[in-house]
């Protein structure tokens, strides 16, 4: 009888996908179960395949959608979403041709399954525990919520996976991210991840794969867990994982591509072996207390510049070192904020509810619950952008679209929208936005635009008040 | 890919921490389907006024810094999005190497696959290089990948880490995709032992 060394969730998934283990001279060859493809980071990869006369090795493990450069403007009389940007239209056409030529399934713009790449995988049941999943997009970490090893890759790696279904990887280190306790009302998964990133900084997870654990993580829905894993990359970690449990299985069960019958039972039996073994060790560890957490908001120009919404903007003169002071000075200048300023009560121009971080049905339900029966504050543009056509259809079936429209908010087509601002949805220079997306980098939401990242609850509360609002002030206790 | 040989060239410092790929190449330039023209848009929002005229106070626009081939960034260079357009843009702008104390993982991988060298140095060397570049725009260093060594103007040599496989590929112009494709038998064996559970081509 052999005694096996206790393994982490990451190590189990990693080891199960080794075509060749790492050696002193060579990186590991890792097999990829699922490759998600979108229009922006794939064209040059397909060009490479053509130049070398290569085919896509496993079209049956590849799925394409359109999301980044697609407009989210309402459909025309013909029922189609108009693409007025000639370059975007050309890029979408290239995507269609590439998928056609190489036999890849494409969820084309406006069709019933189209949506943000990290929303469609889970909703189709294609994202499953224990898989390796890659995409030419850093927010691929989202799929780690299912106990998959999922990470973003560049276009050269997209070509490699298309041609070989494999990647060359050096084994990353592991970090246990423990979130103890329970969340108070009005505090969400988004606040947990903004809290973690504020604590470790945006480079804190570089070289690591996170495993989120602890009571607060266990208590989250799958959609909350996706929000957390989604922003692992904002802490520098390429991947973040959560051990699958009954919440995971219940979510996957019955999805279009989920295993059925005896296959389901066999799959679940395997998935139950995935959680980290008792005694498994991590290279690093960080802990957050959920019951001390309040709604979070960013004040600066990277996701690590976050604070409790009740706090004041930090003073660069109190920074611990020169480079930190310089970074803070630069950020506050860009944001037009003063040291010590409070963000509560600050007027905003735009509220954006959407993105692969927070555009799923529970995000929309939570926002609608706060906005129902109110009007959007005068002069504020509020955009609600569902993450996929499926989310949009579900929301419309529940009447959420009417709730939003009655407040004066815009109800739009599915896509990345103002998270990436390469599709017509963007801030004007100097505008302030509260956004449920994942990045507040300079110009991320439009050149000169200024972003405060926050939860859908904070965004919704801000939408009706027109000023940055602590959502706990507007949540009415339910009878 | 062309093999990387030892090179010497001018350095220019952009000592800002956490330079993200949205600054290196803003998303609105990602609607291209090739790699051409990205160099002109490198650091676009820092480099140009809204009417497209170059900002004279931005370091990369200053005449004395033209022709620099090594960019010294702040800590955690290249964080953010996975866009390989970032190294493409930097190379299009003439850079052969970027120096920092550490790089974001995806940016580093993307750079290594394109022949843009991510050179990691200690804090002290980093600060020294920034000072040198800021004091004298003609500061020139030598980067020797085979020896994993940077030679400073005063002759001091500083080593830098790189994984052995990437180094081998860069020095010899070896194509990583070709290597993976040569493992066809291993890949087939893996697939035989691990059948797929999901078929994306099936209607659902």
Contact A444/B at CB under 8 A:
yes
The answer to whether the Cβ–Cβ distance between A154 and B17 falls below 8 Å is no
The answer to whether the Cβ–Cβ distance between A422 and B31 falls below 8 Å is yes
Residues A281 and A329 reside in one and the same domain = no
To the nearest whole Å, the CA of B69 is away from the closest chain A CA by 23
Cβ neighbour number for residue B20 with a 10 Å cutoff: 24
- Higher-pLDDT residue of B203, A184: A184
Last residue of a domain, one of A120, A147, A169: A169
Q: What number is the average pLDDT over the span A259-276?
A: 97
**Cβ atoms of residues A151 and A260 within 8 Å:** no
Q: Is the pLDDT of residue A421 over 90?
A: yes
Q: Is the pLDDT of residue B177 over 70?
A: yes
Last residue of a domain, one of A154, A169, A184: A169
Residue A263 inside a domain? The answer is: no
Run of H or E including A12: helix A9-16
Contact B161/A at CB under 8 A:
no
Contact A59/B at CB under 8 A:
yes
How far is the C-alpha of A7 from the C-alpha of A25, rounded, in Å? 24
Structure-token pair, residue A385? 């952008």
Which pLDDT band, with edges at 50, 70 and 90, does A1 fall under? very low
How far is the C-alpha of A91 from the C-alpha of A273, rounded, in Å? 43
Interface mutation vs chain A, best among B14, B17, B27, B194, most A CBs within 10 Å: B27
* Residue A411, helix vs strand vs coil: strand
The residues in A 128-187 lying below 8 A from B, measured between CB atoms, are 128, 131, 136-138, 140, 152-157, 159-160, 163-166, 168, 170, 172
Residues A163 and A223 reside in one and the same domain = no
Counting runs of H as helices and runs of E as strands, what totals does chain A give?
15, 19
Structure-token pair, residue A223? 């959609």
- The single residue listed with the structure tokens 């339900």 is A365
Q: What number is the average pLDDT over the span A435-444?
A: 98
Residues A165 and A228 reside in one and the same domain = no
Residues A102 and A184 reside in one and the same domain = no
Nearest 5°: phi and psi at B157?
-115, 135
To the nearest whole Å, the CA of B51 is away from the closest chain A CA by 12
Structure-token pair, residue A413? 């087509």
- Domain membership of residue A132 as a residue range: 9-169
Summarised one tens digit per residue, pLDDT across range B1-14 is 889 999 999 999 99
Residues A187 and A148 reside in one and the same domain = no
Q: Is the pLDDT of residue A2 over 70?
A: no
Summarised one tens digit per residue, pLDDT across range B130-160 is 999 999 999 999 999 999 999 999 999 999 9
- The single residue listed with the structure tokens 């957050």 is A288
pLDDT attached to residue B1: 80
User: Which chain B residue shows the shortest CA-CA distance from A334?
Assistant: B46
CATH number at residue A286: 3.40.1060.10
* Residue B169, helix vs strand vs coil: helix
The answer to whether the Cβ–Cβ distance between B204 and A257 falls below 8 Å is yes
Residues A152 and A192 reside in one and the same domain = no
Domains of chain B (ranges, CATH numbers)? 7-193 (3.20.19.10)
pLDDT attached to residue A187: 98
Contact A327/B at CB under 8 A:
yes
**Total CB pairs under 8 A between chain A and B:** 219
Summarised one tens digit per residue, pLDDT across range B54-103 is 999 999 999 999 999 999 999 999 999 999 999 999 999 999 999 999 99
Summarised one tens digit per residue, pLDDT across range A105-163 is 999 999 999 999 999 999 999 999 999 999 999 999 999 999 999 999 999 999 999 99
Residues A451 and A328 reside in one and the same domain = yes
pLDDT above 70 coverage of chain A, percent? 99
Contact residues, chain A, for B20 at CB < 8 Å: 302, 439, 441
To the nearest whole Å, the CA of A436 is away from the closest chain B CA by 17
User: Which chain A residue shows the shortest CA-CA distance from B115?
Assistant: A156
The residues in B 9-68 lying below 8 A from A, measured between CB atoms, are 15-18, 20, 22-23, 26-28, 30-35, 45, 50
- Higher-pLDDT residue of B204, A411: A411
Structure-token pair, residue A144? 């780690």
What radius of gyration do chain A's Cα atoms show? 22
Mean pLDDT (chain B, rounded): 96
Contact residues, chain A, for B84 at CB < 8 Å: 41, 44, 136, 154-156
Which pLDDT band, with edges at 50, 70 and 90, does A415 fall under? very high
Q: What number is the average pLDDT over the span A326-352?
A: 97
């Amino acid at each position: 009888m052999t005694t096996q060394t206790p393994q982490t969730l990451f190590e189990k998934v990693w080891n199960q996908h080794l075509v060749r283990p790492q050696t002193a001279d060579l990186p590991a060859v890792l097999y990829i179960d699922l490759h998600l493809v979108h229009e922006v980071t794939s064209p040059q990869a397909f060009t490479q395949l053509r130049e070398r006369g290569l085919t896509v090795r496993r079209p049956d493990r590849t799925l394409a959608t359109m999301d980044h450069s697609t407009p989210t403007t309402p459909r025309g009389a013909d029922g189609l979403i108009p693409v007025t940007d000639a370059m975007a239209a050309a890029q979408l056409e290239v995507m269609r041709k590439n998928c056609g030529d190489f036999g890849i399934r494409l969820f084309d713009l406006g069709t019933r399954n189209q949506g943000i790449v990290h929303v469609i995988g889970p909703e189709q049941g294609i994202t499953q525990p224990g898989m390796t999943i890659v995409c030419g997009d850093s927010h691929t970490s989202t799929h780690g919520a299912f106990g998959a090893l999922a990470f973003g890759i560049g276009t050269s790696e997209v070509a490699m996976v298309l041609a070989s279904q494999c990647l060359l990887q050096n084994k990353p280190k592991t970090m246990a991210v423990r979130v103890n306790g329970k969340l108070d009302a009005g505090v969400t998964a988004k606040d947990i991840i903004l809290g973690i990133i504020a604590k470790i900084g945006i480079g804190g997870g570089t070289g690591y794969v996170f495993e989120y654990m602890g009571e607060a993580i266990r208590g989250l829905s799958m959609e909350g867990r996706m929000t957390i894993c989604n922003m692992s990359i904002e802490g520098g970690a390429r991947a973040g994982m959560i051990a699958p449990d009954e919440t995971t299985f219940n979510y996957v069960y019955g999805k279009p591509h989920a295993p059925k019958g005896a296959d389901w039972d066999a799959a679940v039996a395997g998935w139950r072996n995935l959680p980290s073994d008792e005694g498994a060790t991590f290279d690093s560890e960080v802990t957050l207390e959920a019951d001390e957490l309040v709604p979070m908001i960013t004040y600066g120009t990277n996701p690590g510049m976050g604070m409790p919404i009740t706090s004041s903007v930090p003073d660069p003169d109190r920074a611990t070192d020169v480079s930190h002071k310089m970074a803070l000075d630069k950020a506050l200048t860009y944001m037009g904020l003063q040291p010590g300023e409070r963000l509560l009560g600050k007027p905003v121009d735009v509220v954006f509810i959407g993105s692969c971080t927070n555009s799923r049905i529970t995000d929309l339900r939570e926002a609608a619950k706060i906005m129902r029966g109110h009007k959007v504050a005068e002069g504020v543009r509020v955009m609600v952008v569902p993450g996929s056509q499926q989310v949009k259809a579900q929301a419309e079936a529940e009447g959420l679209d009417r709730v939003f429209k009655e407040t004066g908010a815009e109800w739009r087509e599915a896509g990345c929208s103002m998270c990436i601002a390469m599709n017509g949805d963007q801030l004007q220079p100097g505008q302030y936005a509260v956004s449920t997306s994942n990045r507040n980098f300079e110009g991320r939401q439009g050149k000169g635009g200024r972003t405060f990242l926050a939860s859908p609850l904070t965004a919704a509360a801000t939408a009706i008040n027109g000023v940055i609002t602590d959502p706990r002030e507007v949540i009415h206790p339910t009878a | 890919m062309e093999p990387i040989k030892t090179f010497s060239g001018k350095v220019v410092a952009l000592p800002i921490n956490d330079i993200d790929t949205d600054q290196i190449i803003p998303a609105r330039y990602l609607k291209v389907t090739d790699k051409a023209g990205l160099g002109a848009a490198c650091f676009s929002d820092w480099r140009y006024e809204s009417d497209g005229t170059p900002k004279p106070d931005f370091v990369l626009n200053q005449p004395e810094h033209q022709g620099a081939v090594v960019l010294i960034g702040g800590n955690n260079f290249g964080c953010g999005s996975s866009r390989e357009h970032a190294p493409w843009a930097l190379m299009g702008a003439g850079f052969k190497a970027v120096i920092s104390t550490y790089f974001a993982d995806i940016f580093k991988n993307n750079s290594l696959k394109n022949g843009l060298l991510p050179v990691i140095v200690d804090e002290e060397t980093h600060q020294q290089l920034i000072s040198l570049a800021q004091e004298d725009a003609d500061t020139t260093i030598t980067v020797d990948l085979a020896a994993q060594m940077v030679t400073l103007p005063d002759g001091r040599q500083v080593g830098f880490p790189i994984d052995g496989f990437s180094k081998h590929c860069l020095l010899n112009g070896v194509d990583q995709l070709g290597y993976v494709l040569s493992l066809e038998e291993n890949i087939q064996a893996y697939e035989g032992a691990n059948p797929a559970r999901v078929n994306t081509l099936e209607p659902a």
